[in-house]
Structure 1
Amino acid sequence: MSDPRPIGLFDSGIGGLTVLREVQARLPGESTIYIGDSARHPYGTRSDAEVRTFAEELSDELVARGVKVIIIACNTATAVALEHLRERHPSTPIIGVVRPGAAAAALATRTGRVGVLATVATVRSRAYFAAIKDENPGTLVIERAASELVPLIESGLTNTQEMSDAIHAAIDPFLAGEPSERIDTLLLGCTHFPLIRGAIDAALGAPIAVVDSAAATASFLQEIISVNGLEAPGSSRGTAADPGHLGHTAPASAPVAPVHQIFTTGDPVAVDALAARLFGEAAPRAQQMTLGAKRG
């Protein structure tokens, strides 16, 4: 059994490309469709009702394009709209980034003190707080909002004094107090933040584990694809040495070259610049999209 339909992803802008990169690395035979809603970023300072409306439009667009599974590659939209979208599209598996990220952070901490850097809306939702507590009730979870980082990242102002100041303003409170009272793990609760990972590491200046949800989400997606028999034609469910590993089977048909599409409601040139950094020469050119417009 195989399913040639693409995997759909959406985000408030370019941050979700970090999730797309992990998905393509783990599932290289799968086609993908990515939509970034840069025209309306950031989501993190908007009301829950606005975010739900935007998430409806994005998920509706992906379903109309025939995707087999949707990843909400946006922490804010996951926190606010995941269950709503699952009710709206009951026949399409929908995965968020919060639960996988929370599980990874709970596993990474040794002292049980986890910091979460996210947007205002994500912090307000308490989604990460609840998810980490579900994984380990004894964990101390300290959340801080840093929505101001998102527009700087979207604007390409990553190597500026303004960005450096904003990062320190967000990170320094995690480092206050006695060493024994500080966090030992920082969860990047926004898919934009891995794009400034180097600057965040430098600001931390301490042996603190930094976790982002992209890899954990891609791993969870891999499991969903396998369990539900949704692999693209020619994809292996085992390994080359042991195609029957864990009860899985060898590919039943020849691989089909995957097709990748990137759409944006914003400036395609800005998206292309980041995609080239993340994917190299293989990056597809971003295409302009107006949500709700009639497709050709």
Structure 2
Amino acid sequence: MSRYGTVIALVLLVAFNLAFTRNFATMQTLNVNLTQVCTIVIVAVGMTLVIATGGIDLSVGSLMAISGALAPMIFMGKILPIGSIYLGVAAAMIVSVLIAGLLGLFNGWLVARFRIQPIVATLVLFIAGRGIAQVMTNGNLQTFRVPEFQWIGLARPLDIPAQVIIMAVIVAAAAWALKKTLFGRRILAVGGNEKASELAGIAVSKIKLAVYGISGLCAGLAGLIVIAINSSSDANLVGLGMELDAIAAVAVGGTLLSGGKATIIGSLLGALTIQLVRYTLLANGVPDAAALVVKAGIIALAVWLQQQQHRG
């Protein structure tokens, strides 16, 4: 159960819905669940790498808000007049995601350079980041209709949502890097035993900087997808609570919250499980508030299973 609990839960949920939930076995239902889970998975990829080093990143939701607030300001010419919409969109995507990545590096710098506890270091941008996004927009809702930008959230190449393709590429690349590359092995080594890693010649500070920077990049990209789907950017709501959803996906997926062991595919399955639990409850008339209670129970069970596996 500790190793395959997430897979078993996911299979049982699918079987239950196939038997009892009307219209579950349709492409529309599949697309709805996938599009709703994509941003969680993308953020959870970065969160998995951070947690693998023994850290945590509470700032991802606020970084999504900053990225989501900055992009429309660029492609709508609020910062600098840009003649070409394509140039404006390209600049908006690149700059917004890079800014989020740089803020992620700031988190890593606080953790690596000053040895501040990750939960405290990332709490800085968790609080200040959303405030920065609100100041940037004066607290106003930014609405837009820019197909050249919104393809990232609305396009359907080969009838597959674009964000699903982006999610799949990121998951595949991160899973390969974590399992097959020296960088991935060093991430797990740092989380398993930081002092031993330093003695072995691993640049622990650089590893921490890298994973927090990657987490910031993932959050920035997720922020763009959210505002593209909504055709608007609200600094008060974009990414709200995302840090908890991402941590929950990572925990349910089997990554040790203490670091040293991580699975990107597990985080994907964890996010899908949590999403499907919520869908199942809503589709069968259970209030959304109850879904939050069930989600908390799932997280508690996942942590307990981790403890049993660690003791074993």
Provide the TM-score with structure 1 as the length reference.
Answer: 0.27
Q: Using CA pairs under 8 Å that are at least 6 residues apart, name the structure with larger relative contact order, 1 or 2.
A: 2
Provide the TM-score with structure 2 as the length reference.
Answer: 0.26
Whose helix fraction is larger, Structure 1's or Structure 2's?
A: 2
Whose strand fraction is larger, Structure 1's or Structure 2's?
A: 1
